[in-house]
């Protein structure tokens, strides 16, 4: 049996923004592993949902690690602010960083966990030169086509390729976009360690029930170790 702990990171971009304090409390009760923030610039990605102040305002409400995904060009200038606001880990996009090793080093120097995100169209590159800074990879499994963006299963091939590389063995593999109870088991079967879940967390009335259903779907392989 696979002994990995499968982690869930609800994305606040899909949460009801008029009651985020209550949302964070419910996520605490559901014992999720991360709270995921998408910070967008409207240029690199054609939407703008959350800014950085929400990180600052919500930080006192939770001990859950704050997982920040910068979907923006020229992200380096924002890193000290994210550290001051309480971010625990920060991922930048390979497509937006001409010098990714430098950017990851800056994140690490601020005592945050450095990650790298890849759009669905981007092949998995040679990542060995990014060590020792790179700690996790976010693979986007949707594109911003429509409000209910469909999951792209071909993205999982990148994980299968990556986990076979010894030099990448210690990385955390994250899949972000369109994950639900119907496909989550396949995502973890491909080798993912963490899923970012937005719509599947906040649909309906009960966050706790939604997280429970996701864990139940994961437990088809018996790899989720929490109650």
Q: Indicate the Cα dihedral angle 181, 214, 180, 57, nearest 10°.
A: 170
1 domain-assigned: no
Give 125-149 pLDDT, tens digit per residue.
989 899 899 999 999 999 976 667 8
172 domain-assigned: yes
Q: Structural domain of residue 77, as residue ranges?
A: 7-218
Structure letter (DSSP) for residue 149: P
> So what's the pLDDT on residue 225?
46
Whether pLDDT at 1 is above 50: no
Provide, rounded to the nearest whole percent, the portion of the chain with pLDDT above 70. 94
Give 103-120 pLDDT, tens digit per residue.
999 999 999 999 999 999
CATH number of domain containing 26: 3.20.20.70
> So what's the pLDDT on residue 72?
94
Give 179-198 pLDDT, tens digit per residue.
999 999 999 999 999 999 99
- Look-up: residue for tokens 């779907």? 217
147 domain-assigned: yes
Mean pLDDT for the stretch of residues 7-26:
95
Checking phi first, is residue 138 left (phi over 0); if not, alpha (psi -120 to 50) or beta?
A: beta
223 domain-assigned: no
155 domain-assigned: yes
> So what's the pLDDT on residue 149?
82
137 domain-assigned: yes
Q: Exposed, middle or buried by CB within 10 Å (0-12, 13-18, 19+), for 18?
A: exposed
Residue 167: pLDDT band with limits 50, 70, 90: confident
> So what's the pLDDT on residue 221?
58
224 domain-assigned: no
Residues designated as active site: 38, 176
Q: Indicate the Cα dihedral angle 86, 7, 158, 171, nearest 10°.
A: 60
225 domain-assigned: no
What's the mean pLDDT when you consider all of the chain?
91
Total number of domains constituting the chain = 1
């Amino acid at each position: 049996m696979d002994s990995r702990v499968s982690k869930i990171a609800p994305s606040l971009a899909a949460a009801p923004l008029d009651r985020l304090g209550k949302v964070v409390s419910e996520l605490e009760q559901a014992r999720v592993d991360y709270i995921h923030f998408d910070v967008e610039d409207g240029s690199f990605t054609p939407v703008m949902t959350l800014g950085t102040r929400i990180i600052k305002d919500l930080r006192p409400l939770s001990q859950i690690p704050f997982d920040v995904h910068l979907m923006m060009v020229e992200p380096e200038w924002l890193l000290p602010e994210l550290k001051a606001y309480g971010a625990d880990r920060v991922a930048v996009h390979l497509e937006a960083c001409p010098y990714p090793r430098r950017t990851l080093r800056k994140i690490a120097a601020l005592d945050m966990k450095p990650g790298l995100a890849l759009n669905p169209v981007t092949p998995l590159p040679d990542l060995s030169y990014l060590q020792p800074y790179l700690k996790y990879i976010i693979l986007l499994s949707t594109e911003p086509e429509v409000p209910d963006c469909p999951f792209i299963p071909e993205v999982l091939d990148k994980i299968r390729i990556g986990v076979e590389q010894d030099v990448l063995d210690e990385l955390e593999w994250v899949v972000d976009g369109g994950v639900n109870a119907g496909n989550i088991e396949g995502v973890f079967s491909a080798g993912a360690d963490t899923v970012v879940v937005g719509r599947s967390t906040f649909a309906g009335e009960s966050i706790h029930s939604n997280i429970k259903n996701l864990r139940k779907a994961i437990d088809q392989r018996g790899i989720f170790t929490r109650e």
